[in-house]
Amino acid sequence: MKACPICKHGERQPGTTSVTLSREGSTIVFENVPADVCDNCGESYLTEETTTRLFEEAKAATSAGFRVAVRAYAAA
């Protein structure tokens, strides 16, 4: 695994995290998002693909009129 660039002491391990996004007055919380998580400091690292998917889901939720939403992450 890769070393953590934040704490410089831990290693990134496959895991999951929660991500909160705010957009145009709406807040969406995604749970169980796949990420590499530092085993020392807990910092999470998402892939570009996962980040893009989260932004698309946040845009869709905002367009649907959600002000606050909690969703489980679902890979495409």
pLDDT band of 7, cuts 50, 70, 90: very high
Span 10-33, pLDDT tens digits: 999 999 999 999 877 889 999 999
> What is the C-alpha to C-alpha distance for residues 18 and 72, in angstroms, rounded to an integer?
9
With pLDDT > 70 as the criterion, what percentage of the chain qualifies?
Answer: 97
State the maximum Cα–Cα separation within the chain, in Å, rounded to a whole number: 43
Q: Where are the domains of the chain?
A: 12-72
CA-to-CA separations, 38 to 24, 45, 65, in angstroms, rounded: 31, 8, 35
CATH number of 12-72: 3.10.20.860
